Amino acid sequence: MNLPRKIKVASRASALAMQQTRTIIAWIAARHPALEFEIVEITTHGDRFQSTPITQMGENVERGIFNTALEEAVLDGRADLATCSFKDVESDLPAGLCAVSVGRREDPRDVLVTRHGKGLARLPPGAVLATSSPRRTSQLRAFRADLQFRPLRGNITTRVEKSVREFDGVILAAAGLLRLELQGHIQEYIDTGILLPAAAQAALGCEYLAGREDMAQIVAGIQDADTERCVRAEKALMIGLSGGCYAPIGVLATLRDGRFDMACRVVSQDGTQRVEERQTGTAAESSRVVQALVERLIARGAREIIDRTRASLLGQA
């Protein structure tokens, strides 16, 4: 198949997004050294309103505040590919687009950055942590009911700096700090027994036009089969539970030695109601594992917790 001479790659303009884009370009270039690349910087809705907590952006927040503008750039021909955090890819893609994860997933855990030099368990009583994520606040309240939370958005450097000046700490995804080589700020990698990550957290992705066989061939060459299976399963679970940005759902799928393991935790806003399930199977049984997990979670009231959380947060918007 003939490949284009140059590929235009749409990317958000933040330091993390650009680093992720450069990483993906390097993976592609290693396999196709003759290709040239042009990065098309895109400002998304989420980038324009960084002072507004995501949960206060209204009901349409669950329709891709970080990816919609990137997708439009691909659809209207300004870009051949869009790079993204696969976590931000919506299940209902716009007509005419394909999305896949690329590369091996980075560490999916969340981390604590704090000025106290202590882990979560040893933070002072009533410690104030910065995070805008209902998933994080609900699970952490279940771990320590005395913790207080304040919304915080912006780029990673800003959030790290504010965690030192204004809060007792900030909760961030490990992957972002690792990719920007800011791991020296990490005080604690939070155990998944306390805090399960978001679906597809730490995985990178590409979106391109359906029918662009050249782009499909290029991204297929940089995929990791285990990562793709795991993040697809996590996304499928979110669909099964009707989850979105407002949903307090933590989920993690792993593949080791041919065994597929998936854990999910749904916790109420105040941390007092907790539904947690785990299911295992072979790699080939990942779809069955997801379905069984969804059915058990729903039977135990997970969807009611999700619906109450969504209604409450929308009421605050």
The closest alpha carbon to 208, from 199, 217, 200, belongs to 217
* Confidence bin at 45 (pLDDT 50/70/90): low
Query: Is 88 an annotated catalytic residue?
Result: yes
Q: What is the mean pLDDT of residues 265-277?
A: 98
Query: Is 270 an annotated catalytic residue?
Result: no
Query: Is 165 an annotated catalytic residue?
Result: no
Query: Is 12 an annotated catalytic residue?
Result: no
- Count of positions (residues) in the chain: 317
Catalytic residue among 8, 87, 109, 232: 87
So what's the pLDDT on residue 208?
98
pLDDT digits 0-9 by tens, 144-166: 999 999 999 788 988 888 777 88
Whether 177 has a pLDDT exceeding 60, the answer reads: yes
CATH class of 238-316: alpha beta
At which residue do the structure tokens 């806003």 appear? 269
So what's the pLDDT on residue 316?
67
So what's the pLDDT on residue 55?
52
Catalytic residue among 84, 206, 245, 264: 245
Whether 63 has a pLDDT exceeding 80, the answer reads: no
Whether 261 has a pLDDT exceeding 80, the answer reads: yes
Whether 50 has a pLDDT exceeding 70, the answer reads: no
Q: What is the mean pLDDT of residues 228-243?
A: 96
Catalytic residue among 22, 150, 153, 274: 153
Q: What is the mean pLDDT of residues 204-211?
A: 98
Q: Are 266 and 248 in contact (CB under 8 A)?
A: yes
Q: Are 102 and 218 in contact (CB under 8 A)?
A: no
Whether 53 has a pLDDT exceeding 70, the answer reads: no
Query: 238 phi and psi, to 5 degrees?
Result: -60, -40
Whether 212 has a pLDDT exceeding 70, the answer reads: yes
Query: Is 136 an annotated catalytic residue?
Result: yes
Query: Is 76 an annotated catalytic residue?
Result: no
Average confidence score pLDDT of the chain: 92
**H helices within the chain, ranges in order?**
15-31, 45-48, 68-75, 134-143, 156-165, 174-179, 213-220, 225-240, 286-299, 302-316
* Confidence bin at 52 (pLDDT 50/70/90): low
CA separation for the pair 295, 227 (Å, rounded): 24
CATH class of 110-189: alpha beta
Its pTM stands at 0.92
pLDDT digits 0-9 by tens, 118-148: 999 999 999 999 999 999 999 999 999 999 9
Catalytic residue among 8, 12, 136, 229: 136
Q: What is the mean pLDDT of residues 231-243?
A: 96
> What's domain 6-103+203-223's superfamily in CATH?
Periplasmic binding protein-like II (3.40.190.10)
Query: Is 159 an annotated catalytic residue?
Result: yes
Whether 49 has a pLDDT exceeding 70, the answer reads: no
CA separation for the pair 302, 241 (Å, rounded): 8
Q: What is the mean pLDDT of residues 247-267?
A: 98
Catalytic residue among 8, 141, 159, 235: 159
Domain with CATH 3.40.190.10 in the chain: 6-103+203-223, 110-189
Domain with CATH 3.30.160.40 in the chain: 238-316
Catalytic residue among 80, 88, 110, 168: 88
Whether 75 has a pLDDT exceeding 60, the answer reads: yes
Name which of 45-49, 86-90, 102-106 the model is least confident about: 45-49
Residues of the chain with pLDDT > 70, as a percent, come to 92
The answer to whether the Cα torsion of 116, 120, 124, 127 is positive or negative is positive
CA separation for the pair 117, 101 (Å, rounded): 35
Rg (CA), the chain: 19
